[in-house]
A and B are shown apart, each in its own frame.
Chain A
């Protein structure tokens, strides 16, 4: 989750007197609407160090984890193209983020999107701060910018799996820039933007639409996974099936690479989920443990399903189960308890398994690397389940009422929360589905999305990049 709250440093001398007076008055409790000078004293080195490490972990989730996870699943002639697409999407997304992404997602403006007051990071520097979920605890704003940047980098990279082996490189980059702008930044704003715990009570409408509705999404089940999953589904339908789909064999060329990728995804995901607490404290540890056990349960669950269905558990199944578990626990990571996290992991694998094998085969759509089946479906399951597992009656963490100062524990109503979660899911599906469809269609009729059949047969490595992943 995110929030933005920062202030620019004014004249230190004059403010010191003000701060001293303020401290003298509020010595008993937290300070409401702190000034920038007061925020300086509210930054903890442990929190800052943790958030920077998490940012590195989440970058690793994109490169090399996702790149290898996806790359191992395609044929050798397309391996390099997958590596290149992920690598360049990360690079392009990072630039777009510091250009206008951070500003659109995390400044006030309206319920759907922010403004451009911080475009190109104007006004963001070493003396500005971002709020956390705790009154009077702040992060250096750059730490928040860079952490969120890694999310903006990985989300579009997830999408490419849906139409792997048959997409043109430059149109893909164009899609990513446009998609981030009209789909990702608005959804990130709607789900995660708010005025912060020290400022919201005085600005009670300063939040994104879904945040204001009370939707709970700890680390991005909607913003990242449902978003990318739906965009992937729409993309694979508009791009069309691979040449030879259903007739030619296309087994993964390297399960070794896929396993390395899945393992690095798991490790990196601790940064993704636990880091989303924005502090290094007990809730962070809860999110960390949940991320571990939900994933383990989901891997076991998928292996059991395969044992029953095919008499042999596969490594691809175990790795896919683990990723499905990671996706499902993402929105619930800081809200669930370990036992309910395990239950979520056990439940999500059979559901995703159904989508990637039975439903996909029956409906005959070529979601090559199961972006919708794993990220879309897993994200939907996790987002709705968050409403259940967050209930303190089930050992969950509950939620905080930030309309009061200081924040206090809210009254949990599971039925109401699940309904809110459902609304958030539906809105995300609709926004991503429609936005992605418009963008894919526009590119399809202008610059074209698919390479020629000849290029697709030769392999994208040579056709698009003039290189081979393997020279032997």
Chain B
């Protein structure tokens, strides 16, 4: 099993969710995060006090997937979330050792 973590621009969330749904992805966890890469923030000024914000708001997706589905998930996210601008984000894949469905106790691929 694989664990796919993607950090994308917030306004891309709905598009990505729909595209993944079409792939057969049944669920995901979404978190609002702050971060930066090559995209820089803005300078905010409050009564002469300047703040340069390094952090930009992003959305993080976490998806547990079978080994077969994971590469297609990565590809789908990359195509859907891209705006061809700096700050589009990144997708990571981690090895997932175990997964359990809490309601039934199922484990392994059937728990995904």
Complex Cα spacing A202 to B45, Å = 58
Let me know if A358 is at the binding interface, CB within 8 A: yes
Kindly provide the distance from the CB of A365 to the nearest chain B CB, expressed in whole angstroms. 13
In the complex, which of the residues B46, B47, B51 has the most CB atoms of chain A within 10 Å of its own CB atom? B47
A361 and B45 within 8 A (CB):
no
Q: Please determine whether B45 and A370 come into contact, CB atoms closer than 8 angstroms.
A: no
| B53 contacts across to A, CB distance below 8 A | 249
Question: For residue B51, which residue of chain A has the nearest CB?
Answer: A249
* A356/B51 in contact, CB under 8 A: no
- The distance from the CB of A174 to the nearest CB of chain B, in whole angstroms, is 30
Asked if B45 and A310 sit within 8 Å, CB to CB, the answer is yes
Q: Which residues in chain A, 154-211, are within 8 Å of chain B measured between CB atoms?
A: none
Question: Do B47 and A357 touch across chains, with their CB atoms under 8 A apart?
Answer: yes
Bound CA span A361–B50, Å: 11
Q: Does B48 make an interface contact (CB < 8 A)? A: yes
Q: Give the complex CA separation of A6 and B47 in angstroms.
A: 47
Bitwise, B19-63 to A at CB < 8 A (1) or not (0) is 000000000000000000000000011111101010000000000
Expressed in whole angstroms, the Cα–Cα distance for A314 and B42 within the complex equals: 15
Judged by a CB distance under 8 angstroms, whether A32 is at the interface is no
**Which chain A residues in 107-127 approach chain B with CB under 8 Å?**
none
In the complex, are the beta carbons of B48 and A358 less than 8 A apart?
yes
Q: How far is the CA of A249 from the CA of B51 in the complex (A)?
A: 6
- Cα A42 to Cα B48 in complex, Å, equals 53
Q: Are A314 and B48 in contact (CB under 8 A)?
A: no
Residues on B with beta carbons closer than 8 Å to the beta carbon of A249: 51, 53
Q: Tell me the complex Cα distance, A143–B44, Å.
A: 46
Q: Is A251 an interface residue (CB 8 A)?
A: yes
For chain A, residues 249 to 281, give those with C-beta under 8 angstroms from any C-beta of chain B. Answer: 249-252
Nearest CB on B from A402, distance (A) = 42
- Looking at chain A's contact residues, the main secondary structure is helix
Whether A356 and B47, one on each chain, are in contact in the complex, defined by CB atoms closer than 8 angstroms, is yes
Contact of B46 among A252, A353, A358, A361 (CB under 8 A): A252
Q: Note all chain A residues with C-beta closer than 8 A to B44.
A: 251
Q: Is A333 on the interface with B (CB-CB < 8 A)?
A: no
Contact between A320 and B47, CB atoms less than 8 A apart: yes
Contact check, A251 vs B46: say whether CB atoms are below 8 A apart. Answer: yes
**Cβ contact within 8 Å between B47 and A317:** yes
B47: A residues at CB distance < 8 A = 316-317, 320, 356-357, 370
- Give the contacts of A310-331 with B (CB-CB under 8 A): 310, 312, 314, 316-317, 320
On chain A, which size bracket covers the interface? 10 to 19
A316 near B46 with CB under 8 A, answer yes
Chain A contacts for B46, CB-based, 8 A: 251-252, 314, 316
Is A457 an interface residue, CB under 8 A from the partner? no
Residues in chain B near residue A357, CB distance under 8 A = 47-48
Q: How far is the CB of A385 from chain B (nearest CB, A)?
A: 23
Q: Is the CB of A251 within 8 A of B48?
A: no
By a CB distance below 8 angstroms, the chain B residues around A370 are: 47
| B48:A360 contact, CB within 8 angstroms | yes
- A53 and B44 CA atoms in complex are apart in Å by 40
B4 to chain A, nearest CB (A): 29
A353 to B49 alpha-carbon distance, docked (Å): 12
Task: List B contacts of A252 (CB < 8 A).
Answer: 46
Chain A 336-353 against B: per-residue CB contact (8 Å), 1 yes, 0 no? 000000000000000001
The docked-state distance in angstroms from the alpha carbon of A357 to that of B45 is: 10
CB distance from B8 to the nearest CB of A (A): 25
**Distance (whole angstroms) from the CB of A321 to the closest CB of chain B:** 10
Enumerate chain B residues within 8 angstroms of A312, measured Cβ to Cβ. Answer: 45
CA distance A251 to B51 in the complex (A): 8
Residue of B nearest to A352 (CB): B47
A435 to B49, CA, bound (A): 30
Is A314 a contact partner of B51 (Cβ separation < 8 A)? no
Bound-state CA distance A251–B47 (Å) is 10
CA distance A24 to B58 in the complex (A): 85
Complex-state Cα separation, A370 to B45, whole angstroms: 15
Interchain nearest-CB distance for A217 vs B (Å): 27
Q: Which residue of B lies closest to A255 (CB)?
A: B46
B54-87 vs A, Cβ < 8 Å mask (1 yes, 0 no): 0000000000000000000000000000000000
Closest A-chain residue to B52, C-beta based?
Answer: A249
Nearest B-chain residue to A250, judged by Cβ: B49
A363-399 interface mask toward B, CB cutoff 8 Å, 1 = contact, 0 = none? Answer: 0000000100000000000000000000000000000
A314 contacts across to B, CB distance below 8 A: 45-46
- Identify the closest chain B residue to A361 (Cβ): B48
How far does the Cβ of A422 sit from chain B's closest Cβ, in whole Å?
28
Counting from the closest, the 8 A-B pairs by CB-CB distance are: A357-B48, A249-B51, A356-B47, A316-B46, A251-B51, A251-B46, A310-B45, A356-B48
26 CB < 8 A contacts A-B = A249-B51, A249-B53, A250-B49, A251-B44, A251-B46, A251-B49, A251-B51, A252-B46, A310-B45, A312-B45, A314-B45, A314-B46, A316-B46, A316-B47, A317-B47, A320-B47, A353-B48, A356-B47, A356-B48, A357-B47, A357-B48, A358-B48, A360-B48, A361-B48, A361-B49, A370-B47
Further contacts, 8 of them, CB under 8 A, given A250-B49, A316-B46, A357-B47: A249-B53, A251-B51, A252-B46, A310-B45, A316-B47, A353-B48, A357-B48, A361-B49
